[in-house]
Amino acid sequence: MPKPVVAIVGRPNVGKSTIFNRIVGERISIVEDIPGVTRDRIYSSAEWLSKEFNIIDTGGIEIGDAPFLAQIRHQAEIAIDEADVIVFIANGLEGVTSADEEVAKILYRSEKPVVLGINKVDNPEMRDQIYDFYALGFGEPYPISGSHGLGLGDLLDAVIANFPANQSEEYDDEIIKFSLIGRPNVGKSSLVNALLGEERVIVSDIAGTTRDAIDTMYKYDGREYVIIDTAGMRKKGKVYETTEKYSVLRALRAIERSDVVLVVLNAEEGIIEQDKKIAGYAHEAGKAVVIVVNKWDAIEKDEKTMKEFEEKIKAHFLFLNYAPIVYLSALTKKRTHTLIPMIDLASENHAMRVPTNVLNDVIMDAVAMNPAPADKGVRLKIYYVTQVAVKPPTFVVFVNEPELMHFSYERFLENRLREAFGFEGTPIKLIARARK
């Protein structure tokens, strides 16, 4: 089921990013651990009362040199375009300002539910000051304090109450959904055209009227696929659609709806920081990943070139060691036919279920061959392994003490699973849990 999306809007300095961070909590993103990647999260998953959703801090999306009012207007438009529920934040210390009214005017025009939070209400005596905010016309204002973490529970209850009733899955489970992500100009749209132009491809439907995407459905060898569009391929219309943060946001949304993510690189330009960041998001989302090196026609090659490029990729994308690499040219269509089989493979592995007995045989053999090292005299004992999920394959390892499962040993077990079962193209997850 697609997760509902919540967007935070409001003029600068009302506390949007403080509230965002509170709601998101201590979720550590591997993307943020990549050196050189700035800590500029504007999008994250979150949870309240076991309801999962995604949340956007629109304040983090700055539109070039747009003047103040234009800036907050664009941010409100983004919230309307992207969200199921909008959280509108004002500042209780300052009362209703004309900029708040400006935001309100844009939000009135949408049909999206709006929950109004009055921030910086740091103590109960201040609660009387929130009544003025009824004037904004969004019903009951919720007094909150982002910096003290007060009132957020009531606000989130109201947000959840406004989630769409049942968001049904957009496509059948058998349909392979994939997206192409990468910097502008790496050749994403050219590649989509090359794929759709292949002889045996039958394009059945191009949807394009909804807010979200221009998804393309097609059939190849009797199998159905959907290409999930991202900002890079979209016809650029609105001002904010050209901003980098916004295109990252679109890419993240596309990743989320995909089974397989094609990380497209430009052979001519090599790998830059932004590529790593984009690839990191795909990994983090637990999607199957295929790395596509496009524009392979445009570089001078000898017999070592491919090997060298592969080494570069391996060095830059350590966390994507499972992703197969395809070298091709969208322009000359050389080797584009190898891409769909690779998508199939990654997708199959992403959905693979391993029989429990076989799984345990492999793990027990691995443990017998290479027992976990003792830590302060205590040794990790593995009792039993079971696969609890697919997409990506997720395994719970029942042990004596979960803290004894160190990163290096976990990686050893992961490698053994990969050797035994393949899993090319998909991340796998191991979760250590104490046996009851």
Of 216 and 329, CB closest to ligand GDP: 329
Tokens of 179: 């997206």
Restricted to residues 277-336, the positions that interact with ligand GDP (CB under 6 A) are: 294-295, 297-298, 329-331
Restricted to residues 171-190, the positions that interact with ligand GDP (CB under 6 A) are: 182, 184-190
Q: Find out whether 61 and 107 touch, Cβ atoms under 8 Å.
A: no
- Report how many residues bind ligand GDP under the rule CB under 6 A: 33
DSSP-assigned states of every residue in 66-133: --HHHHHHHHHHHHHHH-SEEEEEEETTT---HHHHHHHHHHHTS-S-EEEEEE---SGGGGGGGGGG
Q: Minimal distance in Å, beta carbon 173 to ligand GDP? A: 29
Q: Minimal distance in Å, beta carbon 101 to ligand GDP? A: 17
Residue from 146, 392, 393, 427 in contact with ligand GDP (CB under 6 A): 146
Structural Rg of the chain based on CA atoms: 24
One symbol per residue from 16 to 45: x for binding ligand GDP (CB under 6 A), - otherwise; what is it? xxx---------------------------
Q: Minimal distance in Å, beta carbon 416 to ligand GDP? A: 38
Q: Where are the alpha helices (DSSP H) in 285-338?
A: 305-316
Inter-helix orientation angle 273-284/244-257, to 10°: 30
Q: Minimal distance in Å, beta carbon 328 to ligand GDP? A: 7
Q: How many CB atoms lie within 10 A of CB 73?
A: 19
One symbol per residue from 85 to 124: x for binding ligand GDP (CB under 6 A), - otherwise; what is it? ----------------------------------xx-x--
Residue from 97, 147, 167, 321 in contact with ligand GDP (CB under 6 A): 147
Choose among 187, 199, 178, 191: nearest CA to 333. Answer: 191
Instruction: Give the SS3 label for residue 50.
Output: coil
Binding residues: 10-17, 57-61, 119-122, 182-189, 229-233, 294-297
250 binding ligand GDP? (CB under 6 A): no
Of 97 and 185, CB closest to ligand GDP: 185
Question: Which residues contact residue 301 at a Cβ distance below 8 angstroms, ignoring those fewer than 6 apart?
Answer: none
Q: Minimal distance in Å, beta carbon 87 to ligand GDP? A: 12
Restricted to residues 40-69, the positions that interact with ligand GDP (CB under 6 A) are: 59
Span from 10-18, 217-225, 373-381, 392-400 in contact with ligand GDP (CB under 6 A): 10-18
Span from 40-48, 141-149, 197-205, 274-282 in contact with ligand GDP (CB under 6 A): 141-149
Tokens of 27: 């979720």
CA dist list (Å): 151 to 91, 95, 104, 154, 291: 14, 18, 22, 6, 44
Q: How many CB atoms lie within 10 A of CB 267?
A: 23
Q: Minimal distance in Å, beta carbon 143 to ligand GDP? A: 10
CA dihedral 182, 184, 187, 192 (to 10 degrees): 70
Restricted to residues 195-224, the positions that interact with ligand GDP (CB under 6 A) are: none
Q: Find out whether 160 and 247 touch, Cβ atoms under 8 Å.
A: no
How far apart (Å, rounded) are the C-alpha atoms in residues 180 and 292?
A: 9
Binding residues for GTP: 10-17, 57-61, 119-122, 182-189, 229-233, 294-297
How far apart (Å, rounded) are the C-alpha atoms in residues 127 and 120?
A: 10
Of 269 and 348, CB closest to ligand GDP: 269
One symbol per residue from 383 to 412: x for binding ligand GDP (CB under 6 A), - otherwise; what is it? ------------------------------
CA dihedral 109, 112, 118, 119 (to 10 degrees): -110
Choose among 186, 185, 208, 204: nearest CA to 196. Answer: 204
Chain contacts with ligand GDP (rule: CB under 6 A): 10, 12-18, 59, 119-120, 122, 145-148, 182, 184-190, 232-233, 294-295, 297-298, 329-331
